[in-house]
Structure 1
Amino acid sequence: MVYRLRPVGLDFVANAPLRVVLASRTAAAPEEVFRALALDVPGWTRWFRAVTLARPVQRAGAEGREVHLLGGVRFMETVMAAEPSHRYAYRIDVTNVPGVRAMLEEWQLLPSGTGTVVRWTVALDAPAAVRLLVALGRPGLRHAFRDALLTLDRRLAAMRGGTR
């Protein structure tokens, strides 16, 4: 089944009924993290274990992404912001997950010494039962995020060292 979500703007990050905000530090500079997030979309499968497919797509003249996750979850997304070394955000337009009314994810990149603090916000509108499930799933989401950033950090360090 395919579910079309309500289109939302970037302000949804601040005023969504449910916001999950996670942050972690990486040794990579903001520009390196931004390239991995926004410019190497297929590369997500190499550092974010939950992502099984990620590819850029053009949809109705807008830059977008098709993303598949472990367990069969699928998203069609529209990129809402791609600000080099600062922010990458996308709205989920279509999914196979029932119960979600609107969803937007934002990755903020905050310089921290020679590295970056990466803040990932998942903003969601869904019925109370779905919001409860997401809230209960926060520890798993936190673990997946930290694991992904550790893997990304190692990958970017290897690339800086000339190995791939």
Structure 2
Amino acid sequence: MAQRLRPVGPEFVGTAPVRLVFAQHMAAAPESVFHALAEDVAGWPEWFTAVTSARPTEGGRDIRLRGGTRFQETVLAGRAPELYAYRVDVTNMPGARAWVEEWRLAPAGTGTRVRMTFALDGTAAFLLVCRLIRPGVGRAFRDAVTALDRRLR
């Protein structure tokens, strides 16, 4: 059953009860990475294997993951080429109350340093599960960034 989450802004990334932060270097330039994240939404399933469907919507995105999880999102920031952030407004993930994902891109030599933050709030059980799945989420992030880097070469 889908539920509406609490509307939070970009500042939630710094105040969320649980923050999962991952970083990795890419050979691709920040402009190319930003384009893939923010402007080629439909292309996400080609490099992020957890994503089965990604569709831009008016002011946001509709995302479906393997296993049936769905997200309706609002883009909070799209400042090329350094920042892309979105808030989950509606999801079928039980226990979630507020959710923001932020991608920060910084030049690193001829490539890009990518830092992704999951900022989360929810029931005690939801937050515990989020902490427990940190290693798997980190692996999915690294795999996705590696696949995106290959795709952008």
TM-score (norm 2): 0.99
Q: How far off its partner does 1:2 sit?
A: 1.1
Which residue in the other structure is 1:89 paired with? 85
Which residue in the other structure is 2:8 paired with? 8
Please say if 1:123 is aligned against 2:119: yes
**Secondary structure, counterpart of 2:8 in structure 1:** coil
Provide Cα deviations, 1:48-89, integer angstroms capped at 9, x if missing partner.
00000001001xxxx110000000000000000000110000
Quote the Cα distance in structure 2 between the aligned partners of 1:98 and 1:138: 17
TM-score (norm 1): 0.92
2:120 partner letter: L
Q: How far off its partner does 1:129 sit?
A: 1.4
**Secondary structure, counterpart of 1:71 in structure 2:** coil
What is the aligned length? 153
Q: How far off its partner does 1:126 sit?
A: 0.9
Please say if 1:18 is aligned against 2:18: yes
Quote the Cα distance in structure 2 between the aligned partners of 1:72 and 1:105: 19
Which residue in the other structure is 1:27 paired with? 27
1:99 partner letter: G
Unaligned runs of 5+ in 2: none
Of structures 1 and 2, the larger Rg is shown by 1
Provide Cα deviations, 1:68-127, integer angstroms capped at 9, x if missing partner.
000000000000000011000000000011100000000000110000010000000112
Which residue in the other structure is 1:79 paired with? 75
Residues 22, 115 of structure 2: 8 Å contact kept? yes
Q: How far off its partner does 1:153 sit?
A: 0.4
Quote the Cα distance in structure 1 between the aligned partners of 2:35 and 2:113: 15
Please say if 1:39 is aligned against 2:35: no
Unaligned runs of 5+ in 1: 158-164
Give percent identity, aligned residues only.
Answer: 59
2:29 partner letter: A
